[in-house]
């Protein structure tokens, strides 16, 4: 202690006083807390006042709402997927057998045994439809319209290249037809999907870019153009409404133009002529094709 300066002694005294006061406060608080209910009527009175003035919160029991049985509305992505799946199985390949080589065109099923194929297929005499179990005979209408020819699928046939000795099953090929839209023409800017059946279904997404008006046999008709580029490989693809899955039109080539023929024109084309029960006049095709 004798080595401490006056300043250090003052600081030491202050520190000792601080520690002493803290210790006394702790001891006093502990004593009051332990003896308050019996020895301090003031504290008891204060506690009673607090209990009356400040209500004790009671827990609120919330009942869990039962699960709703109402189905959730599908979002736009689900609708697009459904539209593609709905139409991807409506395509069938038609093989056109030339003198030196063959080619394949896309056919769109419009009934259980009827296809719409590009009009050029009518100029090739040897042709057949390729099904899941083999080849099937096909007849084409003698006339074409809107860039299409109507083809009727018949019984299963045997190709000349088939070396098997078994007779083909005559069970016909069942087609899954598309559903044409019965509404008016789509509006410019409307979203559309271009669907084909390759690789289990493929699609392109775009909008209607314009409605082209043309005159055909003194009748004004319209054709649909979209933001999706179209070429000869797109003939027979269907233009689909994303929300309903209905077919708005089918890609066709008329002259030098490749565009979409509206569903209304195709329904008119497929309607049976007056006094006839079939769409168009079929042209016979052979039952054995190389």
pLDDT digits (tens, 9 = 90+) for 75-112: 788 888 999 999 999 999 999 987 678 899 999 999 99
Report the C-alpha gap between 116 and 238 in whole angstroms.
11
Encoded tokens for 142: 């003698």
| Predicted confidence (pLDDT) per residue in 165-213, tens digit | 666 677 778 899 999 999 889 999 999 999 998 877 889 999 999 999 8
Structural domain spans, the chain: 77-283
Specify the pLDDT at position 65: 65
H or E stretch covering 35: helix 6-39
Specify the pLDDT at position 23: 78
- Strand 219-226 and strand 91-97: pairing? unpaired
Report the C-alpha gap between 238 and 90 in whole angstroms.
10
| Predicted confidence (pLDDT) per residue in 229-279, tens digit | 999 999 999 999 999 999 999 999 998 899 999 999 999 889 876 555 444
Report the C-alpha gap between 87 and 73 in whole angstroms.
22
Report the C-alpha gap between 108 and 96 in whole angstroms.
16
What CATH number does the domain located at 77-283 have?
Answer: 2.40.10.120
Largest CA distance in the chain: 135
Per-residue pLDDT band at 285 (split at 50, 70, 90)? very low
Closest CA to 210 of 268, 148, 257: 257
Specify the pLDDT at position 289: 47
Report the C-alpha gap between 45 and 13 in whole angstroms.
40
Specify the pLDDT at position 109: 96
Specify the pLDDT at position 281: 37
DSSP 8-state code for residue 232: G
Specify the pLDDT at position 283: 41
From the number of C-beta atoms within 10 Å of its C-beta (0-12, 13-18, 19+), residue 152 rates as buried
Specify the pLDDT at position 105: 94
From the number of C-beta atoms within 10 Å of its C-beta (0-12, 13-18, 19+), residue 200 rates as exposed
């Amino acid at each position: 202690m004798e080595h401490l300066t006056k300043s250090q002694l003052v600081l030491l005294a202050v520190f000792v006083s601080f520690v002493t006061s803290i210790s006394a406060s702790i001891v006093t608080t502990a004593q009051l807390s332990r003896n308050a209910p019996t020895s301090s009527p003031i504290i008891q009175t204060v506690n009673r006042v607090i209990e009356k003035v400040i209500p004790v919160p009671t827990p609120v029991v919330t009942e869990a709402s039962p699960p709703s049985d109402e189905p959730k509305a599908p979002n736009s992505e689900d609708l697009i997927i459904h539209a593609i799946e709905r139409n991807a199985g409506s395509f069938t390949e038609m093989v056109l057998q030339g003198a030196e080589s063959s080619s394949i065109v896309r056919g769109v099923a419009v009934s259980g045994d009827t296809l719409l194929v590009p009009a050029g297929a009518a100029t090739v005499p040897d042709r057949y439809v390729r099904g899941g179990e083999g080849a099937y005979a096909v007849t084409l209408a003698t006339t074409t319209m809107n860039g299409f020819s109507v083809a009727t699928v018949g019984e299963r046939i045997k190709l000349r290249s088939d070396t098997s000795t078994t007779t083909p099953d005559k069970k016909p090929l069942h087609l899954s037809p598309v559903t044409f839209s019965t509404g008016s023409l789509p509006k410019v800017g409307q979203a559309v999907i271009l669907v084909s059946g390759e690789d289990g279904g493929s699609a392109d997404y775009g909008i209607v870019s314009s409605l082209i008006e043309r005159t055909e046999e003194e009748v004004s008709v319209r054709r649909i153009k979209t933001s999706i580029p179209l070429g000869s490989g797109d003939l027979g693809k269907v233009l689909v409404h994303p929300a309903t899955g209905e077919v708005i039109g089918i890609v066709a080539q008329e002259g030098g133009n490749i565009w979409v023929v509206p569903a209304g024109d195709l329904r008119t084309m497929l309607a049976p002529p007056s006094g006839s029960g079939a769409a168009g006049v079929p042209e016979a095709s052979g039952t054995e094709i190389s």
